[in-house]
Amino acid sequence: MTANKVLVLTEQFTNECHLFDPLRNAGYVVEVNETGRLPDEARLKQLLAKDVVATIAGGEPYTPDVIANAKDLKIIARWGVGYDKVNVPAATKAGIPLAMAFGQNHESVAEYAHAMALSLACGIGRRDAMVKEGNWTFDGFHPGLWGRNAGLIGLGRIGGAMARRLNGQGMKVMVFDPFLTDEQAKEANVIPVSLDTLLAESDLVSVHAPSTPKTRHILNDAAFAKMKNSAILINTSRGPLIDEAALVRALENGQIAGAGLDVFEIEPLPAGSPLRGFSNVVLSPHVSGMDKMAEERVTGRCVANILAWLNGNPSELTPYVVNPETLSAGQES
């Protein structure tokens, strides 16, 4: 039997979803994860053991062991832009391209981050609760954001989209990004600064950097001590960038004014996490890039990437693959 399965392992789709029809029309059997949770390493290894030529990946762990045992796997198409759950060297060694959906949902993530920031700065959550509880009173002036200082950690596609929104409301936008050029900063209308300057001067700190060993816990006790006690923190990138225990201490001690978090060090967020108990913290379950526009755009990109590779058109994948050496290897084989 010819291997012809494509597994959709993200959590938000059903087998009835029409967005996968191009794969079905091309003769592939599409199986969608309808469990509402991502497979763990053992389950993923089992799922990929036979006949699976491609996956549309969520945040499940593609470890070296998983990849080594996925004998028929030809391509991993990541639904999104982060790939910290995929062991790229192992995929590259196996000749498996890791194809991303770059450029498809950055506006969605930035919009969500901006909405979280505005909700906290305007006290929308607490006031909604207050009125629904039957109270109608002036509860103090909210800080707002317009005319204030914003600090972005990272200025990739998402950070750039966030900068446009913050510029639009008259904020001074500072950026810490070791890879930012003067030309890029000028084009984005942002001011390159050190991390220490950003932390000390920002009324809003929004995180838009990848998860790497260098960025792990970039926001820790020392970082929170440098921030204004009126500052708001937003993270829609990756959980490990924030030391959550340090964040809890900062919130308890009033070192910062609040936080909006869509990502966490451990996902799902453990039931006993102290972060669940703060009225000045807005939480969501890693969904910032999942608006209706992104649903079509990101899924369409994943499907197109899979078909391009399986149909022998590797050049179409060039802008999206993080291990491009696999493309040339595939052409030679």
Dihedral over alpha carbons 147, 151, 154, 157 (to 10 degrees): -20
Decide: 256 and 229 in contact? Cβ < 8 Å. Answer: yes
Per DSSP, the three-state class of 11 is coil
**CB under 8 A, 24+ apart: contacts of 120-125:** 120/232, 120/257, 120/258, 120/259, 120/260, 120/280, 120/282, 121/145, 121/204, 121/232, 125/279, 125/282
Whether 118 and 150 have beta carbons less than 8 Å apart is answered as: no
Q: Select from 114, 86, 280, 143 the least CA-distant residue to 208.
A: 114
**Residue among 148, 165, 286, 301 flagged as catalytic:** 286
Say whether 297 is catalytic. Answer: no
Annotated catalytic, 286? yes
Handedness of CA 203, 207, 208, 214 (dihedral sign): positive
Only one residue has tokens 């792990």, namely: 216
CB 204 within 8 A of CB 198: no
Q: Give every CB contact of residue 331 below 8 A, 6+ residues apart in sequence.
A: 314
For residue 174, the one-letter residue type is: M
Q: Catalytic residue among 34, 41, 187, 267, which?
A: 267
Q: What is the DSSP letter of 269?
A: P
| Active site (annotated) includes residue 217 | no
Is the separation of the CB atoms in 256 and 233 below 8 Å? Answer: yes
Helices 106-121 and 124-132 pack at an angle, to 10 degrees, of 60
Q: Is the peptide bond before 240 cis (omega within 30 degrees of 0)?
A: no
Catalytic residues: 238, 267, 286
